[in-house]
Amino acid sequence: MSTSENHKFGLLDNRFLARSLGMLNLGDPLTVEQTEPISAVLSLLKEHKTGCVIVCNREDKVVGIFTERDVLLKYVLNNHDVSTPISEFMTPEPKTLQMTQAIAFALQMMSEGGYRHIPVVDEDDIPVGLISVKNLVDYVASQITRDLQAFDV
């Protein structure tokens, strides 16, 4: 078997795993400044029907991530004031990815770190997207559907 042949890894093959995150439909990231009160951030999560925001400093660089898990473990269980800044509840210095990195690398990072969301940043650490487990599942599902539609019986 030559190295140019397609190697399969269960359902996924190396062509899929080697694709960059830019292939995914990440959309614009939902961001807040680290001084925002938690009440405003919770309203934003509800309004956008999402479970995660990227927290940035005044220079728009990523300083944290705030997820549903943070709501439960850091806010609800400790009964904090609603005017407390989000910086008190966020997970600081989250791991980040760039659009050029491989889907396989994102999957590995999510699996090893137990992450469901990872900010995607540009070379200046400015958020340009947010990858989620849902993004990966949706992409896999669309590829399977496409392949099934192309399959002649």
pLDDT band, very low/low/confident/very high, at 112 (cuts 50, 70, 90): very high
Rg over alpha carbons for the chain, rounded to the nearest Å, is 18
Q: Where exactly are the structural domains of the chain?
A: 8-148
Cα gap 55→63, rounded to integer Å: 6
pLDDT band, very low/low/confident/very high, at 2 (cuts 50, 70, 90): very low
Q: For residue 32, what pLDDT is reported?
A: 98
Q: Which of 78, 69, 83, 79 is nearest to 116 (CA)?
A: 69
Q: For residue 4, what pLDDT is reported?
A: 46
Mean pLDDT across 23-44: 93
Q: Is 8-148 in CATH node 2.60.40.3080?
A: no
Mean pLDDT across 123-128: 95
Residue 14: its H or E element: helix 14-18
Q: Is the dihedral of CA 87, 93, 97, 103 positive or negative?
A: negative
Q: What is the pLDDT of residues 38-57, one digit of tens each?
A: 999 999 999 999 999 999 99
More confident residue, 151 or 32: 32
Q: What is the pLDDT of residues 78-103, one digit of tens each?
A: 778 899 999 999 999 999 999 999 99
Q: Percentage of residues in the chain with pLDDT exceeding 90?
A: 59
